[in-house]
Amino acid sequence: MMNMKRYAVLLYLIFLYGGHVQARSAADPVRIYFRHGYSVLDLSLRDNRRTLDDLVGRLEAYTSDTTRKLIVFSVEGNASPDGMNEANLRLSRRRTESVLVYIRSRVSFPDSLIVTTAEGVDWDGLAALVESDLSVPDRDEVLNILQNTPVWIYDKQGRIVDGRKKQLMELCGGKIYRLLQERFFAELRNCTIELHYKTGDAPGQEIARVHDSMPHPAASIQDRPRTDEAGRTTPNEQHPKQAPGQIAEQVPGTASVSARHEPLYRLAIKTNLLYDAVGMPSLEAEYRIDDRWSVNLEGEVAWWSKKPRHRYYQIATISPEARYWFKTRQPWHGHYMGVFVGGSWYDLENGARGYKGDFWMVGLSYGYMFPLGRRLSLETGLGIGFLHTKYEEYLPIDGHYVYQQTSRTNWLGPVKLKFALVWRLWDANRKGGAR
């Protein structure tokens, strides 16, 4: 099947050259790869840096070559089937924009040559990969689903009742879909770039494509380097409310392209609503080191007292924590495990007996963060650990505090409980932001 991107490019060529353009056999396109759930261009991933350097060199050569004239610079953004459909459409569009902004920062060429498409899931690419790999179980059935099953199947009332992705996920109890995830999905998270040029001055001259050395998806997957980007993903939406359409757009220039970007927030400020509710205001700051690791610092202070009534509610706690985030569709969302330590100072008295001392703790934490909006999230968590405290017991008698004894207590079990409101900030992708 001819996909939307090639159809759009062909129409564009026909429009420019009055119908003299004929279809030709294509050379392998250039592919820039992305991490799962990201539209941020990572030059260290696979051969992205070398590929872009080579592409920029070719573009610079065309500007000074009088025998060949660049007529179309086409960029197609793609995504893998995992994830929700609307999110995949946005992701493929932003990947296209990210690549364009980078290339336009290094080489200049007219905006009128740019043609972009953002199709979301690259189903054609997945079918080509499956067709080239004879070891895929039930390969014929998989290909039949990919090539003949519509993306969405509707009932008479216009409701989505079935579709390509749903059938793949149900095949062999989900085993085939998981295999496709692990083996092929990383190859689909890309931006595909093609350069079209004409030779000579007459509009009817040959249209050719630049020959590049990047492998085509139909090439054997065993011949490619393995990456760490084919991990398992979050559950997918099987019955979306609305089927996505393919998007083909003419990019007017770098101004509109660079206006939108995928936020990459490095810092999050939080408050634990549970502690706030019991009169112990909390504040946390978490810094994202990379896709997997972050550091968190939390503190709580309640320094209330009613001296005439001998009532004290005074406690101050500080606790640093290192966290490992499991693979998710986007940063700051999903599951994490952490290691924490902490210390506290307290003076607690109810009018009859008081306890004054300090404690230290160490333990493991588990939590989950889910989005509420573009910058807001909710975080739930539990900390299990060992706590040791040393404190003095005293009695308020005739306006004085009479020492009773010094005690020590050890505790093994829950030491933290979290239901926090999270505000993400410091967009590292914005100009002038973090690097």
Q: Are residues 308 and 240 in the same domain?
A: no
pLDDT at 418: 93
pLDDT 10s digits, 195-206? 777 665 444 444
- Pair 250, 277 in one domain: no
Cα(229)–Cα(225) distance, integer angstroms: 11
299 in a structural domain: yes
Residue 226 near residue 32 (C-beta atoms within 8 A) = no
Q: Name the domain boundary from 199, 231, 258.
A: 258
Q: Are residues 237 and 92 in the same domain?
A: yes
Whether 432 is covered by a domain: the verdict is: no
**pLDDT the model gives residue 179:** 92
289 and 254, same domain (yes or no): no
How many domains does the chain contain in total? 2
CB 53 within 8 A of CB 107: no
pLDDT at 220 over 70: no
pLDDT tens digits, 274-321 = 999 999 999 999 998 877 889 999 999 998 888 777 788 889 999 999
Which pLDDT tens digit goes with each residue over 404-424? 899 999 999 999 999 999 998
* 154, pLDDT greater than 70: yes
**Percent of the chain's residues with pLDDT above 70:** 73
User: Are 242 and 290 within one domain?
Assistant: no
CA distance 416 to 6: 56
pLDDT at 70 over 90: no
- pTM of the predicted structure, to 2 decimals: 0.47
For residues 115-140, give the mean pLDDT: 90
| pLDDT of the residue at 159 | 84
Same domain? 270 vs 369: yes
Mean pLDDT computed over 139-154:
90
- Same-domain pairing of 178 and 217: yes
Residue 433, in any domain of the structure? no
Give domain status of residue 89, yes or no. yes
One domain, residues 208 and 66: yes
| pLDDT at residue 352 in the model | 82
Is pLDDT of 368 > 70?
Answer: yes
Last residue of a domain, one of 258, 288, 306: 258
Residue 435 located in a structural domain: no
Residues 210 and 343 in one domain: no
Residue 412 structural domain:
265-427
Do 251 and 353 lie in a common domain? no
pLDDT of residue 260: 40
SS3 6: helix
- Can you give the pLDDT at residue 428? 52
Shared domain check, 231 and 277: no
Give me the CATH number covering residue 358.
2.40.160.20
Mean pLDDT of 155-166: 86
Task: Identify whether 169 is part of a domain.
Answer: yes
Q: The tokens of 133 are what?
A: 């790999």
Q: Would you state the pLDDT for residue 240?
A: 39
Residue 120 phi/psi, 5-degree rounding, is 75, -120
Decide which of 258, 292, 312 is a domain's last residue: 258
Whether 243 and 277 share a structural domain: no
pLDDT at position 230 is 41
Share of the chain above pLDDT 90, in %: 39
* Residue 298: inside a domain: yes
Residues 6+ apart with CB under 8 A from 153: 160, 161, 162, 163
Residue 324 inside a domain? The answer is: yes
The CATH number given to whatever domain includes residue 236 is 3.30.1330.60
